[in-house]
Structure 1
Amino acid sequence: MQTIFLQATGGESMMPTLIMFGLFFVFMYFVMLRPQMRKQKQEQNFQGALKVGQRVVTTSGLHGRIAQIQEDGIVIETLSGKLKFEKSAISREFTAARFPDSTEDKK
């Protein structure tokens, strides 16, 4: 029975492999990490710019107006009463251009 041993030649360099790994990490940064960091920064700016009286939508789909802004959360006034949420639960602003108010249309 014959045994064959494969041996790597001593003259080959690991440089092409290292370059490929480096290019892979750079690609992953620009494709995955950078857009996620940009989105997170936009959410933080949006949550920091919330004002009393602004109409918002929560991540669970609740629509209402901001009644109070407190250190530990936001109180949202809805038709059924007032509810307290974390700032991170506010998903987006309820704008008139995106969601026209039906009461303003009727005259």
Structure 2
Amino acid sequence: MLNSILLMMQPQDGAESNPLMSFLPLLLIIVVFYFFMIRPQMKRQKETRQFRESLKKGDKVVTTGGIYGKISEIKESIIHLEIAKDVIIKVDKNGIVKDMSDVQPQK
């Protein structure tokens, strides 16, 4: 049965298949994958890196764990976050996900 399927798939007499045409669908899939998956991810990573580099003392932020606080000190990769009066915790810089400085508190 497999032999008969392979015989039917062979090109007919005089009709030669172009090897480049067999790779065309694969190339199209790779291009689509790049533009819809890889490129947007790289853009988000760049924006996140720029956000974390622009953090400064006094910014109000949210961590990945949902802790709200104000930056009291920034070291190379560690941020000291004041979450209440005289309560300071150390957080990895990669744990900061959102800047809340511009958000007005609800009444």
| Structure 1, unaligned runs of 5 or more | none
Report the equivalent of 2:64: 59
Counterpart residue identity of residue 56, structure 1: V
Report the equivalent of 1:16: 21
Instruction: Measure the CA separation in 2 of the matches of 1:45 and 1:72.
Output: 14
2:89 partner SS: strand
2:21 partner SS: helix
Instruction: Measure the CA separation in 1 of the matches of 2:39 and 2:77.
Output: 29
Report the equivalent of 2:96: 90
Deviation at 1:79, TM superposition (A): 1.3
* Structure 1 residue ranges, 4+ long, deviating more than 3 angstroms after superposition: none
| Structure 2, unaligned runs of 5 or more | none
Deviation at 1:12, TM superposition (A): 1.5
Instruction: Measure the CA separation in 2 of the matches of 1:45 and 1:88.
Output: 12
1:37 partner SS: helix
Instruction: Measure the CA separation in 1 of the matches of 2:76 and 2:82.
Output: 17
- RMSD over aligned Cα, in angstroms? 2.1
Counterpart residue identity of residue 17, structure 2: E
> Identity rate of aligned residues, in percent?
30
Instruction: Measure the CA separation in 2 of the matches of 1:14 and 1:91.
Output: 49
Report the equivalent of 1:39: 44
- State the TM-score, normalized to the length of structure 2: 0.81
Report the equivalent of 1:49: 54
Question: Does the 8 Å contact 2:59/2:101 carry over to 1?
Answer: no
